[in-house]
Structure 1
């Protein structure tokens, strides 16, 4: 336990799976109930729903860490956002709210001391073990809920690594990644913001409006031809709404290799965060060959990877009763009632198996606080799902990032290999399909 901050250090973690770490702190709390700013903002319902959820972004750096430069950059960029210099106050006298506070950036920068022998022996594993230790280390609620952890040693992918931990109430994954990119600059021209992909053109057969064909039959046949797509849409909508309601009330995915058994699915504090780089060009090749979207490709490859893992480890070939559903969170409108959303949120996540997300990144290399970025790997922890799948594009690659409950999926590296192999097989099939189409033409 770190006596200065009252928070457990890595060395205090009672587990043999993690490296011993020490995170010394010497700063006092940044806010107390006896003095706080008059600037207050009520917590919105979404922030209150995300009480146990944290976002972890592992950022590979192309150079060793220059701590003074990084600290100054954080103070000038990220710390200026309102929630990054606010804390959550729930003192019972008022509604839970944000209260503005002064920020000492040094209190939010952590440079852990790891076992040097373990770091030299396997730096990639040392990094993985450290990130896996974060869910067991509570954040200090008397300070704004964000941290930068710097691991200044080379790994197989980067010269150094920054691990950013942020409470989900500060924003969702998309808004936080956008804010991170807004604080970064183009490596080619530090005076401008990073270049992002252009919106998709939405061209191709799947996007072309249907043309009303002249019917040579009766007026009734023409009417049925016209109305049939609308009837199908209405039926699918009814089915989707019914399944959504059933999921909230009683419909639960059965126990599989990806899900804990039991009536109450609880979050395991032990989480492993692993990632692998894939070629964005290969993903686009598959998209063009299949005449679909990139998201379709990622969902299909994810299904293929999970199938490979399941059938290899279960020894089963029966799929007629296998149910495995994923949640893709989307924020479409502001929520006005917490009681309308809390139970829905909890039941939906507890009754499904996987959390899935896909985010778009810059098309060029960027710098953050003067440090070139090699890769970006966002993820989350705190939810009940044993498997969270994130995709993050950056330059010419796309990262697949897995956050796994290693009690449920102990061989998570093999699962990550299944993703790589599945993409490879789909790419080979798409290449043959493209060649066949070209030959026919």
Structure 2
């Protein structure tokens, strides 16, 4: 799960009440093989962090960074050793548990980079494809189901695929979400055109020219929509309300099935062209319109001609939503000075239910997919669905424990069909250790969904990693093409 669909601006009182209920937990014994830093206090893992380290989910973010020039291993190590990243408390801490199973972060005296950086030299023997993209995707797909991070050291690794000029950062989701980790990775990068300058991420322009009457009406709609969407979420958990079975449906246990990974490649200019055609649309509206059109096209292709699937079949996704008030890069120099980083670092996201309606062979007006997506997302933005989901998750982990949280998570995931997230990256070209970055992609550990999609924008491009259970969706490259063709058709009529 990585993050940034949109951002709500107000919180309901119930969210504040739930969020304030996280208990204060005492320190515990150290079960790690790392030697702890002297006199360093243990810091409790946040409820969301505790959720991600449970054996049943154990989420790891895999960030793929392609470099322009050949990789120098020693130079990479030196850059990391001297970077602000290695000063980050989370990257210096091991996960420890007490006899009651409570998780804490424990600072170490030092981090041995040789235990975290791995040179992968035999990937060409495992993957015989000539295309570097396919080789990297196959390698990462295997990582998503078979390679958890060791708890005997800080929960991050760097895999270097030297022949492909690719770095694969593996960072446990308990350390942070997509926005946090994007901030940290970019803090060790610099602009290509201005080597002394940090990368920047664009911030949205917020305008509020509404009248008092319009504000009152917005508040009423916010309360109503929040109630409706929260009730739908409860129905998913308690009453077995679930999507109908389709070609992309997963289910309990699918997270352990072998995976395939494909990449859908978009031009941001194409997405902006479509956005400008639909009044007041956003890039996220266009993205979800592309998802809607692409999934409909894929299901049409795989559906038997004599099939009698119901008209307007609903397919529901889980969208990850950043809940921070301030978008853009966080100040890493201030972060590493802070004794406790839980208040503003880590995982600050909720999720929303995103419905797609499959209408067979509806391609007369491709922009209808964007218009319908905008109408749905506008209502989701107005509600507090993501905030309430985040608060409920905190409450359940804090007071009811991980078993109940896992049960609720499984009910929601297994009643829906896919996961999607979108993280905004830098617009300009950047470099790591003086080596220009050519691509920036992200995926995560497998879920019970058969289809997981993570998009990251970078330097005029937007690339979406499509992770699938290959026994359910054997042709993710074709699905990627369905998405790419959907955007091009929208652009042609815009």
Work out whether the TM-score is over 0.5: yes
RMSD: 2.8
Given that 2:60 and 2:148 are in contact with CA atoms closer than 8 Å, whether structure 1 keeps it comes out as no
Change (3 A) 1:212 1:127: closer
Contact 2:32-2:151 within 8 A present in 1 as well: no
Q: Does 1:267 align with 2:240?
A: no
Which residue of structure 2 aligns with residue 61 of structure 1? 67
Greater CA radius of gyration, 1 or 2? 1
CA distance in 2, matches of 1:235, 1:317: 35
Higher relative contact order, chain-length normalized (CA < 8 Å, sep 6+): 2
1:314 maps to: 303
Count the aligned residue pairs. 378
Query: Residues of 2 paired with 1:188 and 1:228: CA distance?
Result: 47
Gap change, CA 1:34 and 1:181, over 3 Å in 2: closer
Q: Does 1:279 align with 2:256?
A: no
Alignment CA distance shift 1:370-1:399 (3 Å)? same
Gap change, CA 1:31 and 1:114, over 3 Å in 2: farther
User: What secondary structure does 1:199 align onto?
Assistant: coil
**Which whole-Å deviations, capped at 9, do the CAs of 1:395-417 have from their partners, x for residues lacking one?**
11111221111121111110011
The answer (yes or no) to whether the contact 2:49–2:174 under 8 Å persists in 1 is yes
- Picking from 27, 34, 52, the partner of 1:50 is 52
Change over 3 Å in CA distance of 1:175–1:409 after alignment to 2: same
| Aligned mates of 2:82, 2:308 — CA distance in 1 | 56
Is the contact between residue 34 and residue 153 of structure 2 (CA under 8 Å) also seen in structure 1?
A: no
Q: Is the 8 A contact 1:61 1:372 kept in 2?
A: yes
TM-score, normalised to structure 1, is 0.78
CA contact (8 A) 2:454 2:464 kept: yes
Partner of 1:150: 160
Q: 1:41 aligns with which of 19, 40, 43?
A: 43
Q: Could you say what secondary structure the match of 1:58 adopts?
A: strand
Distance change >3 Å, CA 88–CA 314, structure 1 → 2: same
2:241 to 246, 251, 264: 251
| Gapped regions of structure 2 (runs ≥ 5) | 1-29, 322-348, 350-386
Q: TM-score scaled by structure 2?
A: 0.70
**Aligned positions of 1:34-433 closer than 5 A:** 35-37=35-37, 38-39=39-40, 40-51=42-53, 52-77=58-83, 78-92=85-99, 95-101=102-108, 102-114=110-122, 116=124, 121-134=130-143, 135-154=145-164, 160-200=165-205, 209=210, 235-249=224-238, 250-260=240-250, 264-291=252-279, 292-315=281-304, 316=307, 318-320=309-311, 322-330=313-321, 331=349, 332=387, 335=394, 338=397, 339=399, 342=405, 343-430=407-494
The CA distance in 1 between the partners of 2:261 and 2:423, in whole Å, is: 17
Q: 1:185 & 1:105 partners in 2: Cα distance?
A: 22
In structure 1, list runs of 5 or more residues that go unmatched: 1-29, 155-159, 214-225, 431-441
CA distance in 2, matches of 1:106, 1:33: 16
SS in 2 for 1:169: coil
Q: CA deviation at 1:201?
A: 5.3
C-alpha separation in 2, matches of 1:352 and 1:324: 7
- Quote the offset at 1:320 in angstroms: 2.9
**What's the CA shift string for 1:226-245, capped at 9, x where partnerless?**
99877766554433222111
